[in-house]
A and B are shown apart, each in its own frame.
Chain A
Amino acid sequence: MNLTIIRALLEDARQQVLDNRVFRLLVILTMVPILMTFVVAFREDALVVLWGFEPIYYADLIQSFGGGSIGDPSGIREQFIQTFQSLIVNFFAGSLGVIFCIAATAFFMPRVLEKGAADTLFSKPVSRFAILFSRYIAGLLFIAGIGGVLVLGMFFGFGLRSGYWDAGFLWGAVTLVYLFGLMHAFSICVAVLTRSSTAAILLTVVLFFIAGRVHWGWETIQYIQHSEMAVLMRESRQGATDDAEKLGSADEEDEQEGFLALMLGSVKVLHYTLPKTRDARIITDKLRRALTNDDFEWKSADGELVIQSAPRGFLIDTESRGELEADGVRWIPMSPKDAKEAELCIRRYPRPQVERGISKSLRPQTGRALAKELKQELEEQPTTVVQPTLKNLSYGGVRMTRVAWGAQGDHSVLSHQRLIFHFDQWIYEIDIVMSEGDTMLAARGAQPLQEFLSPQNMTLGSERHLGQDEWYRQQFGWTSPWRYNIFFSLASSLAFASLMLTIAWLRLSRIDF
């Protein structure tokens, strides 16, 4: 097959897509969210509709939806934009859009196989596989056209109107093509086997839902079996189960367990066989992070504390990595001239038990109480040249107490800040040290610190308190064990698509037109 034939097949695929009414309708529909990104500006504190015509403050918006007040407004704009992007690309395009596209492209292959059309096309010196594959490509062009317009339009809309240039968002279009590619392979297979557009649409939509549900079921099984939360819940229920066994319903439970094992086994087999459509959204996020270099900066061994990115202008001190309970995790300035005395350090230790209240019962110590103790100690120390002050702060719903003081360093007076808070059974301390008059942090204002402590950047209790979705999202990665591995997900899903196309080709090669 020469280049001319390939060009002809691609051109034919392009014409088929461009002539499709549903395609044109979907392109028009994609203009709606694109226009929104041009009409609405996402400013730091508010949405501005129609170039200042109507500002809507994020705080008001959240409260109108029943949310609480925003303690820390940093990162709220990004949250709003990313939520909007996710709503459009993941929900509308990734589910409804894909179903529309399945319906719109399902007739591509059956129409080729119709009597009269097939005779003309297959009598040309082109292999049947090439024609089959060209119809597959036509479907991909279909979704790529719509997805490309949507994602590029929104990308430029956010960039030009809101100054939010997020190249990682462009992965959304690739993921849409990937997701649809999996479904379209199945649609082509059904179309060749049945020569019916209706059968192709119905069965593909059914597969789309089943694959999603099976994968969700498998995630649930994994979550129940392996997440810390579920382990704790199981342990707490263990006693009740033991009691039930003593009551003598063992036979009935054996039957139930047999059925359950069968169900679990079926879900697992189906999960590993079917395309993992639910993973597509997470893969997009992971790719987005990879592109924007936004993978997490540091994570504690127990997964309780995750830092997404280093404080601006700092990099992690590799010598301190992973020692949260000892010397702490330390970030030092990137610039060598600033590296003399400035640093940012996080450490933690178990909450001490102290007698509290009238009953004098032992209770875990609070961060605020420890901050007060620190203030008293500092006031008595001779090296303290600037008297300590105490201030309560809240970052991402975590209440902290900040102690700020000045102390004599080797070369100059050092400005200290220590943020102390308790979380679960731990006391956390965040130390920020800089030379007095050092412009590094001061000149940039509190913004870098706010960003560092924002819930988007610093996540606490990330393993234990995660729901199923978040837990799976954390397990799923490029270097995870094979069942949670992105490469395995991609490879097994693509293997499914390849199998469908192979079945279609084998059937097609045996058809007498």
Chain B
Amino acid sequence: MLPGMGADETILRVRGLKKTFKTGFLGRSGFQALAGVDLEVGRGQVFGLLGPNGAGKTTMIKILLDLVRDYEGQAEIFGLPPSHALSRRKVGYLPEAHRMPTYLTGWQVMMLFGMLAGKPRKDIEKRAAALLDRVGMLRDSKRKVREYSKGMQQRLGLAQALVHDPQLILLDEPTDGVDPVGRKVIRDMVTEAKQAGCTIFINSHLLNEVELVCDRVVILNKGLILSQGSIEDLTPNADATMFDLAREVPDMEQLLAGIGTGYRAMGRGFELVVDDAGLDATIDRLRSSGHTIRGISRRRRTLEESFINLVEDSSGGGQA
């Protein structure tokens, strides 16, 4: 058992994390990737890490994995600093645009990375077969990695990240290059890992994917956390009200002329921004013209909308 690992304790903690990469001739100038990040992640959560390019997401993950050094502030995994090799023993990592050793077969990759995590060969063999089967790669596991397509490499990458039965899984763009069926498999595997008590960190630009699997989301921009919370917290109700009708009405916009704003047709229904009086007026007009209302609901913001709003606000509305 790793130090400090109880049932409810924090798996990952960063405090005032700052990192500046030296650039230019002799490192005279610099680029600040992280400007003071505080974060705490407990056991059994699926965490989404969002942010525009260059926000500092990957840098934060790499600091936690000791891939990036010379940072300011504190970082801990399982109560140990990243520089301690033992802290990475229970961590599975799938990097973005990873490259598995091309001279190995898929099976050998699983053996190598499993054993590098300190797991006995016999344990790895059992788990590797199951995982490769799960990601649909068992049949191709005797082929060299250099013969794999990008999607196959991504599946193998995910399998290797899980092969040593980690308690913290860091996935950087896990569905990159994977077909829809493969994405479903990855989503299912993430859910299963969560149910098994793992903490999962997902860094992805596919916000709908994040929305589907994550419990909590952190949004980073310019090295700072803009917002963090549950999906519900980050996707509040929007101003618009959605009306679902029994049948499609072609001239609906004319029918509702003068009521509310922002009309948008949506299948058999529509969306309209109205206040309470406007809501009553809309219902009255629909009913008086003989239309059947099947449902009325307040629409929630999508994660994408919230993300864009937050990023634009923090950037002064200029950039996404």
Q: Does B232 contact A (CB under 8 A)?
A: no
Q: How far is the CB of B57 from chain A (nearest CB, A)?
A: 14
In the complex, chain A residues whose CB is within 8 Å of the CB of B160? 120
Q: How many residues in A have their beta carbons less than 8 Å from beta carbons of B?
A: 31
CA distance A124 to B90 in the complex (A): 9
Q: Does B98 contact A (CB under 8 A)?
A: yes
The residue in A121, A124, A127 that gathers the most chain B C-beta atoms within 10 A of its C-beta is A124
Which A residues, 33 to 74, have Cβ-Cβ distances below 8 Å to chain B?
A: none
Q: How far is the CB of A195 from chain B (nearest CB, A)?
A: 14
Number of A-B contacts (CB under 8 A): 97
CA distance A8 to B99 in the complex (A): 18
Which B residues, 116 to 147, have Cβ-Cβ distances below 8 Å to chain A?
A: 116-121, 144
CA distance A114 to B101 in the complex (A): 11
Stretch of B61-69, B178-186, B219-227 that contacts chain A: B61-69
Query: CB-CB contacts of A117-155 with B at 8 A, as 1s and 0s?
Result: 111111111110000000000000000000000000000
Identify the closest chain A residue to B105 (Cβ): A15
Which A residues, 11 to 25, have Cβ-Cβ distances below 8 Å to chain B?
A: 11-12, 15-16, 19-20
In the complex, chain A residues whose CB is within 8 Å of the CB of B104? 12, 15, 19
Among B88, B101, B144, point to the contact of A124 (Cβ < 8 A): B88
Q: Is the CB of B88 within 8 A of A4?
A: no
Among A2, A11, A19, A119, point to the contact of B62 (Cβ < 8 A): A119
Among A1, A119, A127, point to the contact of B98 (Cβ < 8 A): A119
Q: Does A411 contact B (CB under 8 A)?
A: no
Q: Is the CB of B116 within 8 A of A119?
A: no
CA distance A120 to B163 in the complex (A): 13
Q: Is the CB of B116 within 8 A of A114?
A: no
In the complex, chain A residues whose CB is within 8 Å of the CB of B273? none
Which A residues, 87 to 142, have Cβ-Cβ distances below 8 Å to chain B?
A: 114-127
Q: Is the CB of A116 within 8 A of B101?
A: no
In the complex, chain B residues whose CB is within 8 Å of the CB of A119? 62, 65, 67, 93, 95, 98
Given A4-B119, A12-B101, the answer on whether A124 and B113 have CB atoms closer than 8 Å is yes
Q: How far is the CB of A138 from chain B (nearest CB, A)?
A: 11
Q: Is the CB of B103 within 8 A of A19?
A: yes
In the complex, chain A residues whose CB is within 8 Å of the CB of B89? 125
Q: Is the CB of A9 within 8 A of B99?
A: no
Q: Does B241 contact A (CB under 8 A)?
A: no
Q: Does A360 contact B (CB under 8 A)?
A: no
Identify the closest chain A residue to B144 (Cβ): A19
Given A114-B99, A512-B67, the answer on whether A125 and B118 have CB atoms closer than 8 Å is yes
Q: Is the CB of B97 within 8 A of A123?
A: no
Q: Does A7 contact B (CB under 8 A)?
A: yes
Query: CB-CB contacts of B1-29 with A at 8 A, as 1s and 0s?
Result: 00000000000000000000100000000
CA distance A16 to B144 in the complex (A): 12
In the complex, chain A residues whose CB is within 8 Å of the CB of B101? 12, 15-16, 117
Q: Is the CB of A115 within 8 A of B97?
A: yes
Sample of 10 further A-B pairs with CB below 8 A, known A5-B116, A8-B112: A11-B115, A12-B104, A19-B103, A114-B99, A119-B98, A120-B93, A122-B66, A123-B88, A124-B88, A512-B69
Instruction: List 30 contacting pairs A-B, 8 Å CB cutoff, sorted by A.
Output: A1-B85, A4-B120, A4-B121, A8-B111, A8-B115, A8-B116, A12-B112, A15-B101, A19-B144, A20-B103, A114-B99, A115-B97, A116-B95, A116-B97, A117-B98, A117-B100, A119-B65, A119-B98, A120-B95, A120-B99, A122-B65, A122-B66, A123-B66, A124-B116, A125-B87, A125-B88, A509-B69, A510-B69, A510-B70, A512-B67
A-side interface residues toward B, CB under 8 Å? 1-2, 4-5, 7-9, 11-12, 15-16, 19-20, 114-127, 509-510, 512-513
B-side interface residues toward A, CB under 8 Å? 21, 62, 65-70, 85-89, 91, 93, 95, 97-101, 103-104, 108, 111-113, 115-121, 144, 157, 160
